[in-house]
Amino acid sequence: MSRGMTRAMTLPPVTLVLGGARSGKSRHAESLVESAVGACVYVATATAGDDEMAARIAAHRARRGPRWTTVEAPLDLVAALHSECRPGRAVLVDCLTLWLSNLLGADRDPAEAGAQLIAALPALGGPVVFVSNEVGLGVVPDNAVARAFVDHAGRLHQDLAAAAQSVVYMTAGLPLALKSAAPARQNRLRIART
């Protein structure tokens, strides 16, 4: 479904959008959340550690309209989800690989944090769309830290994909449904042309 033409729908409880860098995953995830009826909440895991990252964050914010509320959760993602996921709103988490990087940088256990995230999913009060970078398609990294990161990301993706009702892989701006739970359309349709 394109950003220019959307139908109001109910999202499944958990959606995972995976893809490589600049694959269109954030835009696609935003369009999914915007297609839902109600408020849109963006849970940001990024921190502006340098000018380039600050510019990326600013570009993401500028792309989203006034319907969006932004919540920053670079480390305490589960607490943010418990707070923000409730009826009448859809939540977007962008992105899980930055969250994993933050956890590693703060000397927190990514496996434990990932298990806590998966355990929290059934109790969330509204739909959530997770965005993450697929980092396991290249060569095996040449250092232990990078290999550990790829391992943690791969395990988290597998666990989240198993728990999710919908999983989408993005490449070149095109979505490929890996696991699908057809969203229920609301009785009234909303068509937005831009």
Kindly give, in sequence order, each residue whose CB lies less than 8 Å from that of residue 151, ignoring residues fewer than 6 positions away. none
DSSP conformation letters of 5-53: S---EEPPSEEEEEE-TTSSHHHHHHHHHHHBSSEEEEEE-----SHHH
Q: On the CB side of 39, how many CA atoms lie within 13 Å of its CA?
A: 13
Check: CB of residue 20 under 8 Å from CB of residue 172. no
Helix axes 144-163, 110-120, angle to 10 degrees: 10
Tokens of residue 112, six digits: 């434990």
Check: CB of residue 69 under 8 Å from CB of residue 40. yes
Catalytic residue among 28, 60, 152, 157, which? 60
Concerning whether 60 is annotated as a catalytic residue, the answer is yes
Question: How far is Cα 13 from Cα 160, in angstroms, rounded to an integer?
Answer: 12
The catalytic site residues sit at 60
